[in-house]
């Protein structure tokens, strides 16, 4: 039988000695009657504009086990202890930290637990590591909690009706995969190999910005037609309504997926929207880490993605067309969640002899200086 988990937002009054936090609770797999519970700081901003199941690592605390009623309860807590509201809920399964290629951190399984979550907002792996292995699973023990979202892929192919079918009938066939976080996939790995082998439409559920996810696939060499859906669309959202009207709407939550176990690690690299790219090559000239080369169309190609400096978005800021994205960056324009038009405050395409720089198109020297200062301040 599937076991349940719930994630609650626990708010307290301003004069309380406790702080507002999230409670992550797991239904026990054994005869225990109460819920294993951890407290983590609220991930402020994660769901401000839309649900964002992106990776995070935070410090938390192992709390005393809670009553089972919290699997379904929302509302005030007795004793003036605040109020809880559900953020997410679903099912989970326990996995060995060394049994799923996406392991993060220490290779020692001692003092560490891992769960695979199947929630509406959280769909992926969560690692809980006790900072002091001597206090393994004890109450009030400090822990490090890391969440790594997975990507669910449905491949959709269509065929005309068989002779027994009604005229004009169409039948759909599919496979269902769960692969590691799309942004972290190596180009030569098993997940990308499987994606490239898919025939027909590829329906991909991820909470990465849709535009960034599309160009990540193209950058990895995946050429199939793509439909992108958020994992976490609420029933009232347009995304959810579109999902219900899609031929795959009756399939994703009922089919047992195949999990692709592949070692991945945290990555940081630019994703280029080739349709928005003007070919100015300012990114190639600005990047000091050798990430880009110029392809046969005289456009930038991300050839050495892992040479990029972790956390550096400078090339995105110098791009006049807003073509360069860093999906994990907080700024919605740089992450690809919002589009940016031509901005006079960023570097322009370089001037040619036939088109000398004008007042409006000349590079912004103060911005260039600021970006150089930012890069110089990084620990290289």
The answer to whether 273 and 215 are in contact (CB under 8 A) is yes
Q: What is the pLDDT of residue 357?
A: 32
- Which residues 6+ apart lie within 8 Å of 353 measured at CB? none
Residue 107 has a pLDDT of 36
CA proximity to 132, closest of 29, 203, 61, 185: 61
Pick from 197, 214, 218: nearest CA to 206: 214
Residue with tokens 């979550």: 117
Distance between CA atoms of 191 and 352, rounded to whole angstroms?
A: 43
Q: Which domains does the chain show, CATH number per domain?
A: 3-148 (no CATH), 151-259 (no CATH), 271-376 (3.30.70.20)
Instruction: Provide the pLDDT for residue 155.
Output: 78
Burial environment of residue 88 by CB neighbours within 10 A (0 to 12, 13 to 18, 19 or more)? buried
CA distance 187 to 98: 23
Q: How far apart are CA 118 and CA 88, in angstroms?
A: 10
pLDDT by position in tens, the chain (length 380): 679 999 999 998 888 888 899 999 999 877 778 999 999 988 755 554 444 567 888 899 999 999 999 999 999 998 888 999 999 899 998 887 655 544 333 334 557 888 989 888 888 889 998 876 555 555 668 889 988 888 888 876 655 444 444 555 555 556 688 899 999 999 999 999 999 988 778 888 888 889 999 999 999 999 888 888 776 544 444 444 444 444 333 344 445 678 888 888 889 999 999 999 999 999 999 999 999 999 999 999 999 999 999 999 999 999 999 999 999 998 889 999 887 654 433 333 332 333 333 333 334 555 555 555 555 565 55
- 69 Cβ contact list (under 8 Å, min separation 6): none
Report the candidate in 127, 116, 135, 160 with the shortest Cα–Cα distance to residue 56: 127
In Å, how far are 56, 104, 292 from 306, measured between CA atoms? 20, 17, 11
Alpha carbons 88 and 61: distance in angstroms, whole number: 19
At 365, phi and psi to the nearest 5?
A: -65, -35
pLDDT at position 264 is: 86
Written in H, E and C, the secondary structure of the chain is CCEEEEEEEEECCCCCCCCCEEEEEECCCCCCCCEEEEEECCCCCCCCCCCCCCCEEEEEEEEEEECHHHHCCCEECCCCCCEEEEEEEEEEEEECCCCCCCCCCCCCCCCEEEEEEEECCCEEEEEEEECCHHHCCCCCCEEEEEEEECEEEEEEEEEECCCCCCCCCEEEEEEEEEECCHHHCCCCCHHHHHHHHCCCEEEEECCCCHHHHHHHHHHCCCCCCEEEECCCCCCCCHHHHHHHHCCCCCCCCCCCCEECCCCCCCCCCCEECCCCCCCCCHHHHHCCCCCEEECCCCCEEECCHHHCCCCCCHHHHHCCCCCEECCCCCCHHHHCCCCCCCCCCCCCCCCECCECCCCCCCCCHHHHHHHHHHHHCCCC
Give the separation between CA 199 and CA 201, rounded to whole angstroms: 7
Residue 14: the pLDDT is 84
Supply the pLDDT for residue 185. 94
Residue 107 CB neighbour total at 10 angstroms: 8
* Region label for 232, one of left (φ > 0), alpha (ψ between -120 and 50) or beta (otherwise): alpha
């Amino acid at each position: 039988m599937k076991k349940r988990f719930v994630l609650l937002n626990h708010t307290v009054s301003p004069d309380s000695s406790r702080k507002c936090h999230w409670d992550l609770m797991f239904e026990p797999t054994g005869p225990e009657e109460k819920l294993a519970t951890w407290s983590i700081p609220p991930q402020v901003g994660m769901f401000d504009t839309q649900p964002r199941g992106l990776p995070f690592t935070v410090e938390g605390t192992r709390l005393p086990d809670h009553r089972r009623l919290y699997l379904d309860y929302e509302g005030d807590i007795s004793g003036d202890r605040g109020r809880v509201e559900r953020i997410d809920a679903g099912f989970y399964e326990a996995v060995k930290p060394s049994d799923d290629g996406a392991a993060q951190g220490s290779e020692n399984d001692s003092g560490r637990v891992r769960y695979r979550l199947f929630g509406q907002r959280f769909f992926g792996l969560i690692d809980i590591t006790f900072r002091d292995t001597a206090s393994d699973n004890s109450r009030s023990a400090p822990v490090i909690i890391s969440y790594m979202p997975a990507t669910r892929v449905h491949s959709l192919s269509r065929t005309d009706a068989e002779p027994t079918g009604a005229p004009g009938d169409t039948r759909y066939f599919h496979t269902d995969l769960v692969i590691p976080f799309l942004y972290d996939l190596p180009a030569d790995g098993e997940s990308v190999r499987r994606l490239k082998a898919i025939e027909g439409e590829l329906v991909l559920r991820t909470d990465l910005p849709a535009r960034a996810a599309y160009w990540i696939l193209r950058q990895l060499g995946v050429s199939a037609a793509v439909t992108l859906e958020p994992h976490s669309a609420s029933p009232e959202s347009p995304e959810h309504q579109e999902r219900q009207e899609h031929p795959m709407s009756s399939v994703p939550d009922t089919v047992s997926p195949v999990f692709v176990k592949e070692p991945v690690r945290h990555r940081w690299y630019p994703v280029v929207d080739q349709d928005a790219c003007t070919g100015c090559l300012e990114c190639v000239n600005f990047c000091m880490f050798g990430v880009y080369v110029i392809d046969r169309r005289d456009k930038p190609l991300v050839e050495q993605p892992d040479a990029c400096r972790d956390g550096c978005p400078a090339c995105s800021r110098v791009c006049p067309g807003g073509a360069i994205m860093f999906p994990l960056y907080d700024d919605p324009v740089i992450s690809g969640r919002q589009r940016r038009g031509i901005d006079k405050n960023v570097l322009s395409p370089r001037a040619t002899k036939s088109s000398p720089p004008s007042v409006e198109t000349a590079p912004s020297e103060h911005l260039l200086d600021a970006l150089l200062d930012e890069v110089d301040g990084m620990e290289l």
